Amino acid sequence: MTSFDVIIVGSGLAGLTSALKLAEKKRIALITKKSLMDGATSWAQGGIAAVLANDDSVEEHIRDTLLAGAGLCNEKITRYVVEHGKAAIDWLIDEGVAFTKDDQNQTGYHLTREGGHSHRRIIHAADATGKVVQQTLAQKVRSHPNITLLENHIAIDLITGRKLGLDHNRCLGMYVLDTASGKVKTFSAPHTLLATGGAGKVYLYTTDPDVATGDGIAIGWRAGCRVANMEFIQFHPTCLYHPHAKSFLITEAVRGEGGILVLPDGTRFMPQHDERAELAPRDIVARAIDFEMKKRGLDCVYLDISHKPADFLKEHFPTIYARCLELGIDITKDPIPVVPAAHYSCGGIVVDQNARTDLPGLYAVGETACTGLHGANRLASNSLLECMVFADAAAQDILQSEPGETIALPEWDESRVTDADEEIVISHNWDELRRFMWDYVGIVRTDKRLQRAHHRIKLLYEEINEYYRHFRVSNDLLELRNLVVTADLIVSCAMLRLESRGLHFSRDYPLSFPSAHDTVLVPTKRYQPGLT
């Protein structure tokens, strides 16, 4: 057993910010299942939303967030996050993040506008904001003496007082698989923070990296934490459509700078779906594209910004320009083929304003958590802002907490398992799960589709759990185990919402209720798929 003051699982912006804000006074274990730079943060192109300009205001950012959230945002949390936005950006600048400058702007930085925003308030580093932020913070994490970086380690499950038969139930540590050696390690800490990101890989088409398998959400659920609003999966409207362009996102900022969506014949269609046209919130744009594709039997639609000066496009979208050019698409002359793809989970583990979960000693931050900020639909570029504000809140809460006692934890028991005989079971189940989730729990849903998905999840869950009980754990098995739990949470929430709201659109219930309510799932003592 190895002891730390804080265990942080995940190395995106939420995990890195938490680690750096705690490391001066705490010994940190930072666990990431691939390398430090893997994860959704480094893929984020657009930027971070914050009130920085004189012609903008906190009230207007709050209003835009509430409007996008379709009545389901927690207004107190929304105000808290927005009011702390400038401080979060100032911290990043102090840490050395090189945002794109603009001497003509009174802030000194170039601000762009994205769908759902009433003002230019997205601070960015060209079109690779997440990567620049991640690289800057990662360098500091690697060199910090109080941070033990554990790459190629994947969390298995939390160790709790209840599991050990203690009188008090709190998070005591966790079991972690070292994927390089195949050994399971036991870590103890009075505080554990889950920052593992989202679950985009539960769908066949996603803008998310391969590591986005819902690990933290499933781990928290199995430990007894409530989970909420998992039906609200944001499908980004514009993922590059090309056989060799795996999960490449075309940032919302392309539309913010004048890009228009067109059919193959060049006809613009968004004004017929919403008066805000291409600058409507993501759920509206994604449904509009889905409608046009299905109506006309199209494989994709096109995003055209070729009417803007070539130098402007190369300066503001260098990553997109270079990647498209590699695939034979010159965005200064050609429209970009795009399709919607699973992008962001608005739901997650229920937390309070300090990022505390239902389990004492356990925190959740970022896409893993359900804070109440996003409601039924996340406003563009609010996600990285949420990561930073709640990472700071969690760090401050941990620093103010009493140091917990270290308890001897049992080692991982492998005495009754063997090496897997046929790993084809894992790849087959993985493929089946992602395909039926795309077909039945996608942008447009029906009761019949959800019931079909629920039935298949139950069968898959039983098969995967049996495999887990009999064979030694591996990275692929753990991810699949977490994905099937996350899929069931999504379907369970969707089946309980008998209306259409935000990102959840049902043909059987096309109208919204007069008042909005969260969908909160409470774990039973024994987990039963579909019966949450």
Give catalytic residues, as residue numbers: 282
Nearest to 159 by CA among 145, 174, 147, 176: 174
Annotate 342-354 with three-state secondary structure. Answer: EEEECCEEECCCC
Q: Give residue 530's region: left, alpha or beta (phi > 0; psi -120 to 50).
A: left
Strands 260-262 and 301-304: antiparallel
Is-contact 392 84, C-beta < 8 A? yes
Using CA atoms, how far apart are residues 81 and 365, in angstroms rounded to an integer?
A: 13
* Sign of the four-CA dihedral 21, 23, 28, 34: positive
**Ramachandran quadrant class, 465 (left: phi over 0; alpha: psi -120 to 50; beta: rest):** alpha
SS3 78: helix
Dump strand ranges (E) for 253-403.
260-262, 301-304, 336-345, 348-350, 362-364, 369-370
354 by Cβ neighbours in 10 Å (0-12 / 13-18 / 19+) ranks as middle
CA distance 106 to 109: 8
